[in-house]
């Protein structure tokens, strides 16, 4: 893929994306009834300079944060939603990043120095 991908998120995102359709070098993909994976597949196949869509890849995490702060979320819901971001082999992924990783990233307290 050589396109610049822009995600429009929030209320009215689908209308914004639809309004961009027809602009020169822009491929607008309103999600509508499509599954996010289908939107990503269409975006990956596009040859347009800019691909704009409204399939927010972090919508589930945003909803979990909202539920956490509003007190309406299920216990552990935020951890489950945010935990999906972590790679399957977290330790190997961290070894590829030689720096101090703070304990707020879900690692043991005191931070971990990864060499």
> What's the rounded Cα separation, in Å, for the pair 40 and 49?
16
pTM: 0.58
Give the position of tokens 């994976």.
37
For 73, the enclosing helix (H) or strand (E) is: none
φ, ψ for residue 95, nearest 5 deg: -60, -25
Decide if pLDDT at 68 tops 80: yes
Range 58-63 contact pairs with CB under 8 angstroms and sequence separation of 24 or more: 58/9, 59/9, 60/84, 61/85, 62/9
Confidence label for 86 from pLDDT (cuts 50, 70 and 90) = low
Give the position of tokens 């890849």.
57
Comparison of pLDDT for 92 and 38, the residue scoring more: 38
């Amino acid at each position: 893929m050589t396109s610049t991908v822009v995600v429009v998120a929030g209320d009215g995102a689908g209308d914004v994306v639809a309004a961009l359709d027809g602009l020169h070098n822009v491929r607008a993909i309103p999600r509508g009834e499509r599954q996010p994976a289908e939107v990503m597949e269409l975006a990956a196949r596009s040859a347009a300079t800019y691909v704009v869509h409204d399939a927010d890849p972090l919508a589930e995490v945003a909803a979990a944060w909202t539920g956490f702060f509003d007190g309406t979320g299920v216990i552990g819901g935020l951890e489950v939603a945010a935990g999906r971001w972590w790679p399957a082999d977290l330790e190997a992924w961290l070894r590829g990043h030689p720096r101090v990783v703070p304990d707020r990233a879900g690692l043991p307290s005191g931070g971990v120095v990864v060499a």
